[in-house]
């Protein structure tokens, strides 16, 4: 059975790019796409994906708050933050929110697949 991945990002281009990047893996399936943090929480509750790829900056509810809410639900769906923001202390904020990894969008082609492999294997992914 393929691993189900929920993508939560408000930019359609990012969603399509992630879909194209992950299509090379027959053992992975995008089970849904949300464009706000609030939708992401609801879809996580409904689908209970194997992993959630979550942007930070979104309307209605940002990705860190959505991650906190998902973590509090104890669904067993780890969150991998996928963001364009790079700042000191970002990794600590991501960990504090309950995410298990962080990938910068600028490094997506190099890091996203590896990060998903790590997270699906029960590990974390925080690389410089």
Please report, in tens digits, the pLDDT of each residue of the chain (128 residues total).
899 999 999 998 888 888 888 888 899 999 999 999 999 999 999 999 999 999 999 999 999 999 999 999 999 999 999 999 888 899 999 999 999 999 999 998 899 999 999 999 999 999 86
DSSP state of 107: G
The domain at 3-126 falls in which architecture? 3-Layer(aba) Sandwich (3.40)
- Alpha helical stretches, state H, 23-121: 37-47, 63-73, 90-97, 108-120
CA 85, chain centre distance (Å):
14
Within 8 A by CB and 6+ apart from 11, the residues are 55
């Amino acid at each position: 059975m393929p691993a189900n991945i929920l993508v939560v990002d408000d930019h359609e281009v990012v969603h399509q790019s992630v879909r194209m990047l992950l299509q090379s893996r027959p053992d992975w399936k995008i089970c849904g796409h949300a464009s706000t943090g609030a939708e992401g929480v609801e879809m996580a509750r409904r689908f209970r994906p194997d992993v959630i790829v979550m942007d930070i900056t979104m309307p209605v509810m940002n990705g860190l708050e959505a991650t906190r809410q998902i973590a509090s639900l104890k669904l067993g769906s780890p969150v991998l933050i996928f963001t364009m923001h790079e700042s000191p202390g970002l990794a600590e904020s991501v960990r504090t929110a309950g995410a298990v990894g962080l990938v910068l969008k600028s490094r997506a082609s190099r890091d996203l697949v590896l990060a998903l492999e790590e997270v699906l294997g029960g590990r974390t992914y925080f690389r410089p």
